[in-house]
Structure 1
């Protein structure tokens, strides 16, 4: 792992605490921190980041703002618009939907991961367990849970992007 990656791991708990205080939800803060880490790590491969901590925090706050905007837009839409939009996402029974294809790619990517990494990700994203709950269930440390989830997210995004391009 590069020095930037090591520095970023050092700031994980600090970032989650900061985000928790800003948005009032530790669970949401952990999700945003994971997404921010993946984005920064992906970006790091393309260019040198001179101030990784500042870049990580700015990325996380941009995600908070984006999430807030999406929530405000969803709240402002009428039910008629949502029902109409929903029909565009549902494919006929005889044709696979884009959603199904993306889900298949995600499953393929998750199958490439080690068991603890895959289980940490699934317990967090599907069952909504907290990091301490996952650590207890899998009998691993909380920092290892955090590392597994970030690695799983990065791997899945990378593989899905690769498969989509081919």
Structure 2
């Protein structure tokens, strides 16, 4: 299914108007497909992947629409904007430590690709050039890192 990646990103880029947003949606789509279909054979993998990606685009659009419609007064009463309590901070700190543990388990190039993308916001070609690897390998590293971290976080939090 990895060979559909570039095609999917181009398809999404035309709809979202941003390569970065398209790559993010494509990563999320791959993760969802991989999580849902572990061990299962998909009859039409390309169609399944595209349908998943389009659903994510619709979800993204809906979230954006809701954000635009909220009046500013909502921010005053919304708990998300208040100073978090100590237990909430401890939970976030614990999750951050677990994420760091999961990232530490990854091979260096995989971890670095993921961090350059998610923390530094670098594009796939920029990461490929910085690490001296192919763009295709960068894409695989990022998808594998996301899948690994999600699996490990679920294991440790349950």
Counterpart of 1:135 in structure 2 is 128
Structure 2 residue aligned with 1:34, among 27, 34, 37?
Answer: 27
Structure 1 residue aligned with 2:45, among 36, 52, 56?
Answer: 52
Instruction: Note if 1:85 corresponds to 2:79.
Output: yes
Question: What is the Cα-based RMSD across aligned positions, in Å?
Answer: 1.7
Equivalent pairs, count: 157
Structure 2 residue aligned with 1:157, among 134, 150, 153?
Answer: 150
Deviations 1:118-137 (A, max 9, x none): 11001001111000000111
Specify whether residues 51 and 103 from structure 1 end up closer, same or farther in structure 2 by C-alpha distance, changes over 3 A only. same
Counterpart of 2:8 in structure 1 is 15
Query: Which consecutive segments of 4 or more residues in structure 1 shift more than 6 A?
Result: none
User: Following TM superposition, by how much is the alpha carbon of 1:100 offset from its aligned partner in structure 2, in angstroms?
Assistant: 2.3
User: Following TM superposition, by how much is the alpha carbon of 1:70 offset from its aligned partner in structure 2, in angstroms?
Assistant: 1.1
Would you say the 8 A contact 1:40–1:56 is kept in 2? yes
Instruction: Note if 1:67 corresponds to 2:34.
Output: no
Higher mean Cα deviation, 47-56 or 80-89? Answer: 80-89
Deviations 1:69-108 (A, max 9, x none): 111111222233234222567123x764432222222111
Cα distance in structure 1, aligned partners of 2:83 and 2:91: 8
Unaligned runs of 5+ in 2: none
- Per the normalisation by structure 1, the TM-score is 0.87
User: 2:133 aligns to what SS in structure 1?
Assistant: coil
Instruction: Note if 1:106 corresponds to 2:111.
Output: no
Unaligned runs of 5+ in 1: 1-7
Would you say the 8 A contact 1:90–1:97 is kept in 2? no
